[in-house]
Amino acid sequence: MIENEIKNLLNDLKAQGAEYADIRYHTLDLHEQIHLQDGLMKNYNFQDKKGYGVRVLYKGAWGFFSNEDPKLLKETADIAMRKAQSASLFLQNSVKLAPKDIYKERFSSNIGEDPFQVNLKDKIELLSKINESLKHERFTFRGANASFNKRTILYFDTEGAEIEKHTLEVNPYMYAYAKDKDGLTQSRSYLMYQNTTPDASVGLENIRDEKQFFGHPERIKNELLQVLDAPIQEEEICSLIPGHEMMALQTHETIGHALELDRILGYELSYAGGSHVDLDDFGKLNFGSNKLNAHASGTTLNSPGSVGFDDDGVKGLDVLMIEKGKLKNCITSRQMITEANEKAGREIFSESGGACRAQSYNNLPIERMNNINIDSGDDGTLEDIISNTENGLMLETPKSWSIGSNRENFHFACEIGWKILDGKISHVVRNPTYKGDSLKFWHSLDMVGDSSTWQLQQVFNCGKGQPNQIMHLAHGIPTCRFDSIEVGNK
Ligand SMILES: [Zn+2]
């Protein structure tokens, strides 16, 4: 039994003086991607990335090593131990892990129709139908892509945690490109959202679902045709209603990345930048208007950001980061909260937020977003918000984005915009962009839609760390309106 071997090894590491050690074994790590373009297979990829990583803490220093071969478990653990021992000779700051509750538990996504049990031909047929529906004589190309990830991870540590995780992710999107009336390239695309009702599941049924995915090609096609002949968005200051895909990007870049504790402590400076937030801001800073309530949640149903337990073995929990606009907490792990509390000279963080994850068995876990969600409000439905908007712009789907290195400002371009005049959608606009200063922007949040507008957007391309790790997560967001935003076309 591999479990017994792992437990014995952890006891050995402890006997050799390890303060802490864990072994994370990906016994199954399947990835499949199917990409059809213009009715032909553009890309197909299948991988099983099995393996294990051993992390050892010795005299305040980490050592990590990973391997694929189960016969080399002991040798791998020995190397991780030796790395920790050598690192401990050159330490600047000792790593201390905050306490955690110990679990012996099994977690599983709510798995529906498992794509790995379905014939490849059937999956290709499903995507072909989407591809066919997107066809139009004015389009230069169109496509449909789906990726599936299925994992079984065993996690054991020297504190007694024994965790088994089974997760499934389904990530489809569709797109079409065409030249507009001025010869410029325009696109419309659509990323599937995830259904979070308790009876919903994760599986191929999500792709077949009309609302989630299968019913969208006709809309995408019609919207692109409208963009091609639409007037250019003029530069102006007006109310802004970002669609769910834009709100996901906005939340991701200006709340999520700004509130990663390792970034706040300076650990990402040489790569992905810092944060305008510092330790003094917790409990004091007004991050946004009093309509803003934001969470880092590990418990959102059917989300790639909910994996039961993080890679520190901390059970997923829901952390209220911003309450009525006030900054209270952030995205945390066992290691970083101890360091932050020490640096601040006060207890800002009482427990790990369970947000430490590794991309794969061969990466060291770091602080990652789980589900950065915004609470719904009491300003009604999308229709109510539009009918209360005198001069506004509704925008959807990121086309390009740039963000200040401390997440202090941003500039986003979108695939499509709808001009709102006197409470009604007036017409489609081309090349819409908007920009702002992060804090000022969240302070201008003046309407938040009710629960009927709340939707979980999946994100499968979040990059962080050196070496870079790509993480999967989600953003649960309602329809929001922002007052007096600078919009334009560049
Ligand atoms: Zn990211």
Print the SS3 string covering the chain.
Answer: CHHHHHHHHHHHHHHCCCCEEEEEEEEEEEEEEEEEECCEEEEEEEEECCEEEEEEEECCEEEEEEECCHHHHHHHHHHHHHHHHHHHCCCCCCCCCCCCCCCEEEEECCECCCHHHCCHHHHHHHHHHHHHHCCCCCEEEEEEEEEEEEEEEEEEECCCCEEEEEEEEEEEEEEEEEECCCCCEEEEEEECEECCCCCCCECHHHHHCHHHHHCCHHHHHHHHHHHHCCCECCCEEEEEEECHHHHHHHHHHHHHHHHEHHHHCCCCCCCCCCCCCCHHHCCCCECCCCCCCEEEECCCCCCCCCCCECCCCCECCEEEEEECCEECCCECCHHHHHHHHHHHCCCCCCCCCCCEECCCCCCCCEECCCEEEECCCCCCCHHHHHHCCCEEEEEEEEEEEEECCCCCEEEEEEEEEEEEECCEEEEEEECCEEEEEHHHHHHCEEEECCHHHCEEEEEEEEEECCCCEEEEEEEEECCEEEEEEEEECC
C-alpha to C-alpha distance for 269 and 264, rounded to whole angstroms:
9
Say if residues 150 and 30 touch (Cβ distance below 8 Å): yes
| Ligand 1 centre distance from Cα of residue 270 (Å) | 16
Question: What average pLDDT score do residues 61-68 get?
Answer: 98
CA of 129 to the centre of ligand 1 (A): 32
Measured distance CA(76)–CA(70) in Å, rounded? 10
Q: How many CB atoms neighbour CB 4 within 10 A?
A: 8
Give residue 174 CA to ligand 1 midpoint distance, Å.
21
pLDDT of 270 reads: 84
Name the residue among 15, 1, 26, 27 with its Cα closest to residue 78.
Answer: 15
pLDDT above 90 coverage of the chain, percent = 98
CA of 442 to the centre of ligand 1 (A): 19
Q: Check whether the bond before 304 is cis (ω within 30° of 0).
A: no
Beta bridge partners of 371: 297, 474
What residues form DSSP beta bridges with 424? 421
Separation of alpha carbons 412 and 441, rounded Å: 13
Residue 319: band (very low, low, confident or very high) from pLDDT cuts 50, 70, 90: very high
> Ligand 1 centre from 21 Cα, in Å?
28
* Vertex 139 angle, CA 136 and 142, to 5°: 90
Average pLDDT, the chain: 97
In this prediction, residues 205-232 reach a mean pLDDT of 98
> Among residues 442, 447, 319, which one has the least CA distance to residue 379?
447
For residue 193, report the distance from its CA to the centre of ligand 1, in Å.
17
215 Ramachandran zone, left/alpha/beta (phi>0; psi -120 to 50): alpha
What residue ranges define each of the domains in the chain, with the CATH number in brackets? 2-134+141-171 (3.30.2290.10), 236-488 (no CATH)
Pull the structure tokens for residue 410. 């941003």
Closest CA relative to residue 368, chosen from 431, 300, 315, 310: 310
Whole-number Å distance, alpha carbon 272 to ligand 1 midpoint, is 9
- Interval between CA 473 and ligand 1 midpoint (Å): 9
What pLDDT, on the 0 to 100 scale, is given for residue 271? 84
| First vs last C-alpha separation in the chain | 60
Query: How many Å lie between the centroid of ligand 1 and the Cα of residue 472?
Result: 9
pLDDT in tens, 464-480: 999 999 999 999 999 99
CA 55 to chain centre: 25
Is the Cβ–Cβ distance between 456 and 474 less than 8 Å? yes
pLDDT at 306 > cutoff 90: yes
Residue type (1 letter), 350: S
Looking up tokens 């990663």, which residue turns up? 260
- 114-128, 205-219, 258-272, 316-330: range with lowest mean pLDDT: 258-272
**CA angle (457, 462, 468) in 5-degree steps:** 165
150: CB partners within 8 A, 6+ apart: 28, 29, 30, 114, 115, 116, 167, 168, 169
393 pLDDT band (50/70/90 cuts)?
A: very high
Distance 90 CA to ligand 1 centre (A): 31
Tens-place pLDDT, residues 420-467: 999 999 999 999 999 999 999 999 999 999 999 999 999 999 999 999
pLDDT the model gives residue 421:
98
State the CB neighbour count (10 A cutoff) for residue 383: 13
Average pLDDT over residues 333-359: 98
pLDDT of 86 strictly over 90: yes
Amino acid at 285: L
Give distance in angstroms: CA of 252 to centre of ligand 1. 6
* Predicted local distance difference test score (pLDDT) of residue 272: 82
Helix orientation angle between 73-88 and 2-15, rounded to the nearest 10 degrees? 30
How far apart CA 39 and CA 83 sit, in angstroms, is 51
Structure tokens at 52: 């294990």
Is residue 92 predicted with pLDDT exceeding 90? no
pLDDT at 309 over 90: yes
388 Cα–ligand 1 center, Å: 33
Cβ density class 338-376: b for 16+ within 10 Å, e for less: bbbbeeeeeebbeebbbbbbbbebbbbbbbbbbbbbbbb
Cα distances (Å, whole numbers) of residue 413 to 114, 160, 188, 263, 328: 36, 49, 13, 26, 31
- Residue 28 and residue 108 in contact, taking contact as beta carbons nearer than 8 Å: no
463 alpha carbon – ligand 1 mean position (Å): 5
Ligand 1: centre distance to CA 297 (Å): 16
Kindly tell me if the per-residue pLDDT of 1 is higher than 90.
Answer: no
The number of beta carbons lying within 10 Å of the beta carbon of residue 129 is 13
